[in-house]
Amino acid sequence: MTTKIILAILYLIVIFWLGYKGWRETRQAADYMLAGRRMNPFVMAMSYGATFISTSAIIGFGGAAAMFGFPLLWLTFLNIFVGIFIAMVFFGKRTRRMGISLNANTFPELLGRRFNSRFIQGFSGLVIFLFIPVYAAAVLIGISRMLEVNLGVNYTVALLCFTGVLALYVITGGLKAVMYTDAFQGSLMLVMMLILIFFVYSELGGIVNAHKSLTDLAPHLPESLKKGGMLGWTQGAVAGSPLWLVIYTTIVYGVGIGVLAQPQLAVRFMTVSDDQQLNRAVLIGGIFMLAMTGVAFVTGALSNVVFFEKSGQVAIDVAQGNVDAIIPIFVSRIMPGWFGTLFLLAMFAAAMSTLSSQYHVGGTSLGRDFYEKGLRFGGANVVTVNRLGVFVTVLVTMIWGLVLPVSVIARATAFFFGLCAAAFLPSYFLGLYWKGMTKAGAVSSMVGGFTISFLYLLFVHTKEAKAIGLCRSIFGVDSLALWAEPGSTAWLLQFTDPNIIALPISFILALVVSRFSAGFDSRHLKICFRGIDR
């Protein structure tokens, strides 16, 4: 215990020093919201990766991999190809250039100025502020569960203390403090995950033997997974079955595509000074993403073999049905004690890096985009207003962390990613590439995509609809899809991610409405695209 305390103190000293460094260098709005647009590629790439990958990916999705197995590695592929390569090469460069041309400091402000709409900036800011605390709470729950299992600390106490430590440097230091600490924390995470995968394969006699053992474990699948269509942890699920839809539409598609419209990631593109910095960041980010998600998903799946060999139970049974507890239990019971201490610090790093970015973007969305620009309540000190916004975001996240149920981490993450994709992705993408995109097209796409996705979550997608309870209170069933014949296409909609429907409709609204509505004059378009068309 003494060793854990000493390492934790040393870790916090580094974090607070980096936070202090960010605070000293934060003097104006651009510093607080965009780190002065002068970050080097390593810091930017590690901050992007550490923001993307958190305890929700390692603990939440690692636990999901313990249930669903190797099919989740398709999400690793999309994280690298879409989340790093496509995002930085095809979105990042244009985002950076257009952000400079329009002097945009936040993601909603970029959209608002591109479409010359105060409503778009205010609406985007409000959506982000209202729903990013749910995603942030998933991350907060992950690290709090880790502290609960590893240190025996009461869950509520762990959550409150961790929130207090994190809030201190995010509120004061802005994005500079966030990115400095992200780079340090991302490096720590990378080392720990490499040690973890080496130990797991060594424990199971190498890669081939480990994978064969997992395949042979298929007869011991829990009955609930078999009924949902699972065949095995390496075999996956029957195509079209309920669990196949959960794996590929919600986890792989919903998160893998939704990353392109994540406001806390998109703002990173506007923090570097030129395109070459983004090119250099691609390789760093790709390696980091492979090590993080690839290791988490493989470890989660193989934990079934390790647990079964040692206790005769698969992972979900060892965790007594709590998916979010699988990775913490695996580390505390299976890994050496010294690794448990270092891994706990790595999870601190994962949680702090992502939460700091979520708090920052939630706070600026409330302070600058909704309050200052959307409602036009200007005049106050900009940095002070945004710091108050961050404080409110921290408070709301803490409340969600206390009330959300168990096994919620992966679900809450997919919820926010999907909602952002339906609301923002068409307008964001077409706004960067198509001069014919109109203000009316953007508004209809954003409002329409958000509304369809949200209504689907409330009344059709059973996981959320059942938890919220509005559908049952109005219609007497947990999902409207339950009115359909079991096994029919309509019945399977309850397992299908909302964005399978909402995102295509959002794109169609953007294209069709833009085709029949007034566009922008050449002067406005010249300003928007002057950095891109050069």
Cα separation, 251 vs 410, whole angstroms: 8
pLDDT of 271 > 80? The answer is: no
CATH architecture of 2-216+238-306+324-420: Up-down Bundle (1.20)
Of 139-153, 330-344, 445-459, the range with the lowest mean pLDDT is 139-153
Nearest to 305 by CA among 241, 382, 217, 380: 217
The pLDDT assigned to 33 comes to 46
pLDDT digits (tens, 9 = 90+) for 85-140: 998 889 988 998 998 899 888 889 999 999 999 999 999 989 998 898 888 887 78
pLDDT at 51: 66
* Mean pLDDT of all residues in 174-179: 60
Res. 54 pLDDT band, cuts 50 70 90? low
Q: What's the confidence (pLDDT) of residue 476? A: 93
Rounded-to-integer distance, Cα 394 and Cα 139, Å:
12
Q: Where are the domains of the chain?
A: 2-216+238-306+324-420
Q: What is the pLDDT of residue 521?
A: 93
Per-residue pLDDT at 214: 96
Mean pLDDT of the chain: 84
pLDDT in tens, 467-519: 788 899 999 999 999 999 988 989 999 999 999 999 999 999 999 999 999 99
Q: Which two tokens stand for residue 353?
A: 């890096």
Contact between 323 and 144 (Cβ < 8 Å): no
Q: What is the pLDDT of residue 34?
A: 47
Average pLDDT over residues 327-353: 79
pLDDT value of position 35: 47
pLDDT (0 to 100) of residue 252? 93
Tell me the chain's radius of gyration from C-alpha atoms: 22
- Mean per-residue pLDDT, 241-261: 91
- Residue 325: pLDDT band (50, 70, 90) is confident
Q: Which two tokens stand for residue 25?
A: 């260098």
